[in-house]
Amino acid sequence: MKLYDQIRIWSQAFGRGVYPHQMTWFLDLPGRGLIMSANTVAERLPVKPNAHVLEIGPGSGYYSVQVAKRIPDGNLTLLDVQPEMLEKSANKLKAAGIANFTTKQSDGKSLPFEDESFDAIFLVTVFGEIEERESFLSEAYRVLKANGVLSITEHHPDPDFEQAHDVAECLHQHGFIPTQKLGWRWAYTLNASKLDASES
């Protein structure tokens, strides 16, 4: 790999925007769990064992395995704009003996799923990367079942980090009701519900 390409990839990894698939080894360093462990993210996701869950931007699949284990009678769908990320995530799930998952390549502005397909959608350090946020939230609302949950986890030192109150306000403006904030200021999970239309 040329030096220019190496510099570009490292700049993307530590700057704002989509994380480059070439740097997934960095996402799997042991110290990451000290900031936000996979168990913590999975436990904060309010789902039943038969839930259908969508993960946006799974990266290397660092959180995917634990979430999939929480829904043994359900299904985990991984969506990422980079096919290389989906391949890495799928390999990690298979290595863990998990088969109740599917993958789909797409960006967040147009989710290729039927209305009310999922009980929950979760994102970890991805929300700040989404450029067409209004389109994403509209699509998330569409594909979530009534009373479904949109779960957003953010933590430092992610360069796209956003404060919980800003995220909550954004979600509220797009039809979601923030119901639960877990964690602390620099490493938190915000859960928001899509209320049944008859209740809104």
pLDDT digits (tens, 9 = 90+) for 37-78: 999 999 999 999 999 999 999 988 999 999 999 999 999 999
Confidence (pTM): 0.85
Question: Which domains, and CATH codes, for the chain?
Answer: 3-193 (3.40.50.150)
Task: Find the mean pLDDT for residues 174-192.
Answer: 96
Joined tokens for residue 65: 């395995």
- DSSP states of 38-70: HHHHHHTS---TT-EEEEE--TTTTTHHHHHHH
CA 194, CA 139: separation in Å to the nearest integer? 12
The DSSP H or E segment spanning 134 is helix 133-143
pLDDT greater than 50 at residue 10 = no
Query: Which pLDDT score, from 0 to 100, does residue 13 have?
Result: 47
CB 101 within 8 A of CB 66: no
For 92-149, what is each residue's pLDDT tens digit? 999 999 999 999 999 888 999 999 999 999 999 999 888 889 999 999 999 999 999 9
The contacts of residue 83 (CB under 8 Å, 6+ apart) are 105
